[in-house]
Structures are given as structure tokens and as C-alpha cells.
Amino acid sequence: MLREDTVNVRYMVDDVAAAIDFYTNHFGFTVRTSVLPAFADVTRGSLRLLLSGPASSAGRPMVDGARPGPGGWNRIHFVTDDLAGDVDRLRKGGVRFRNDIVTGPGGSQILAQDPDGNLIELFQPASRA
């Protein structure tokens, strides 16, 4: 039976130590397990983020030779009450962003990037603007 109390997300990364530093310093994650250089998992509330490097089992080539790698458009999503303030704080901390803040009918959002290009969406609902 699948556990419902924790959400697990796996991100492929090139440098597990750099990913640990990024998520703990900028987004308040706590290190749960670290087996450098292959793997670590960090937690924030009920989110467990699995950081898998090239030396991890998740980084092994597929049968067809394709290799899992970082990046892509899937992302973790954080809701905030102060998007502009969070963006300012993160930029001052050296976090890169994929775009500028965009606003639509549901609210405003921006995409931050971890050191390997994996995305973190910061979203402020219109009702909290």
C-alpha cells in the first residue's frame, strides 16, 4: 500500500552536494540522508525530495541507452503570500530564475532553477495578492 503522509519527488542532479546546499539554504529543507556523491534526500514538511546524482541507481542508463538527467518542465510548487519579497530574497542569495514574474487570472508565478536546472515554482494566488 502506498503511504499518503509524505509526497516524494525525485530530481536528477549532476552534483548532489551542491543540490543539498541549494535546497537547505534557499528553501528550508533538512537533510534526511546523504550518501555522497550518489544520493541524498531532503525534507520540508511532508515533501521528501530525492536528489539523485549520476552515480545513483536512478542515474543508470535505460535499456535503450538513454540516461536520466536533470532539467525538464516538471517542478515542485510552493505557495507564497509574498511572491515579490521571496523573489527578492532568493535573487540576493544567488538563485537563478528561468523567467520574470507572470500574472494570470489565478495569480502570479515565477520559476526558480536549482544548480542543475530543475525547476521550483513560486506561486501567489490572486486571492493572496
pLDDT at 5: 81
How far is residue 80 CA from its own chain's centroid? 15
- Confidence (pLDDT) at 71: 87
How confident is the model at residue 73, as a pLDDT? 83
pLDDT of residue 49: 96
Q: What does the pLDDT look like over 59-85, one tens digit per residue?
A: 988 899 998 899 888 899 999 999 999
Contact (CB, 8 A) for 78 and 87: no
How much is the pTM?
Answer: 0.86
Cell numbers standing for residue 30: 533538512
Structural domains of the chain in order of their starting residue, each with its CATH number: 1-58 (3.10.180.10), 71-129 (3.30.720.110)
Q: Does 1 have pLDDT greater than 80?
A: no
Which is nearest to 76 in space by CA: 15, 29, 126, 14?
29
DSSP secondary structure string for all residues of 100-113? --EEETTEEEEEEE
Nearest CA to 125 out of 111, 96, 104 is that of 104
pLDDT digits (tens, 9 = 90+) for 19-49: 999 999 999 999 999 999 999 999 999 999 9
pLDDT at 19: 98
Instruction: Give residue for cell 519579497.
Output: 85
Say what the pLDDT of residue 103 is.
93
DSSP states of 5-60: S-EEEEEE-S-HHHHHHHHHHHH--EEEEEETTTEEEEEETTEEEEEE-TTSGGGS
Q: How many CA atoms, within 13 angstroms, populate the side-chain half-sphere of residue 44?
A: 14
Average pLDDT, the chain: 92
